[in-house]
Amino acid sequence: DAGITQSPRYKITETGRQVTLMCHQTWSHSYMFWYRQDLGHGLRLIYYSAAADITDKGEVPDGYVVSRSKTENFPLTLESATRSQTSVYFCASSGNYHHEQFFGPGTRLTVL
Amino acid sequence: GDSVTQMEGPVTLSEEAFLTINCTYTATGYPSLFWYVQYPGEGLQLLLKATKADDKGSNKGFEATYRKETTSFHLEKGSVQVSDSAVYFCALITEINYGQNFVFGPGTRLSVLP
C-alpha cells in the first residue's frame, strides 16, 4: 500500500539493548524525519535526512543513530536503550522542506 | 533559536461553540506555518498551512491567517463538533544557512462535549 509505515508499532525492551525502529515510505519523498513525542514536550526532532546518504541532527540526537542507504527507508537505532528513551516515535516524510510532512502511525517504545 | 508557543490546554468546549487556539512564533528566517491535528492513537495529519505573510489557510471549517506583524497563526473554527476532539499542533519550517529548522509547538488538547 502507498504511504508511510512504521514497524514495530509497539516494542518493549530492556536497558542497554539495541533497538531499531523502521520507517518506510512509498512516495519517493526526498525528506524524512524522526520525532519523539513526550508529555510536556510535544514533538521533538531527533534526526532528519534530505536525501539518501544525507542525514543531519535535530534537537535531541544523543543516543540515536540513523542511516539512509535507500530513499524509501530511514531506520532509527537506539544503540544502548535507556529508560529516558521511553516514548512514542514518529517518522515523517516530505517532498520539499516547505511542504507538508506526512506522518506514520507511530511506534510506542517502552524501555524497562 | 526558532520556537513555537501555543496554549497547552486542555480546552473543553460544548458542541457548536467557537474555537480559538493561539499560536505565536519566533523565527530567524521566513517560515512556513502549519497546523497539524492528532486524533487518539494516530499520527499527525496536516490540517492547514500558509507559506507567506497574510496567507489564510483553511480546511474542514478551520482557518488560520499568517500574521507577520504579530508573529501569530491562530487557529479558529466557528462551530466545533465532537469529532474535532483531538490534539492540535502549531508548527513552523524555516530555512537557515546550509540547513532547515523544523519546530512544533507543545500541542493543545481539545475536548468537545455533546
Q: What is the pLDDT of residues B51-80, one digit of tens each?
A: 899 999 999 999 999 999 999 999 999 999
How far is residue B104 from each of residues A51, A86, B18, B30, measured CA to CA in Å?
22, 20, 24, 16
Percent of chain A residues topping a pLDDT of 70: 96
Q: What is the pLDDT of residue A2?
A: 66
How far is residue B98 from each of residues A5, A50, B3, B94, measured CA to CA in Å?
29, 12, 19, 12
At residue A83 the predicted structure's pLDDT band, cuts being 50, 70 and 90, is: very high
Q: Which residue has the higher pLDDT, B55 or B102?
A: B55
Say yes or no: A58 contacts chain B, CB-CB below 8 A. yes
Rounded CA-CA distance B15/B114 in Å is: 5
Examine the pLDDT at B28 and tell me if it is beyond 90. no
At residue B37 the predicted structure's pLDDT band, cuts being 50, 70 and 90, is: very high
Q: CA angle, corner B99, sides to A45 and A84, nearest 5?
A: 20
Nearest-10 Cα torsion for A59, A3, B83, B42: -50
At residue B29 the predicted structure's pLDDT band, cuts being 50, 70 and 90, is: confident
Cβ-defined contact of A42 to B44 (cutoff 8 Å): no
Which residues does chain A have within 8 Å of residue B102's beta carbon, measured at their own beta carbons? Answer: 33, 45, 48, 58, 97, 101
Q: What is the pLDDT of residue B45?
A: 92
Which residues does chain B have within 8 Å of residue A41's beta carbon, measured at their own beta carbons? Answer: 106
Average pLDDT of span A47-68: 92
Examine the pLDDT at B98 and tell me if it is beyond 70. no
Q: Which residue has the higher pLDDT, A64 or A44?
A: A64
Which residue of A lies nearest to B30 if distances are taken between CA atoms? A98
Residues A92 and A103 sit within 8 Å (Cβ to Cβ)? yes
> C-alpha grid cell for residue B101?
529548522
Rounded CA-CA distance B16/B73 in Å is: 22
pLDDT in tens, A14-24: 999 999 999 99
Q: Is A36 helix (H, G, I), strand (E, B) or coil?
A: strand
Q: What is the pLDDT of residue A98?
A: 61
Q: Is A87 helix (H, G, I), strand (E, B) or coil?
A: strand
Rounded CA-CA distance B34/B42 in Å is: 18
Go through chain A and tell me how many residues it has.
Answer: 112
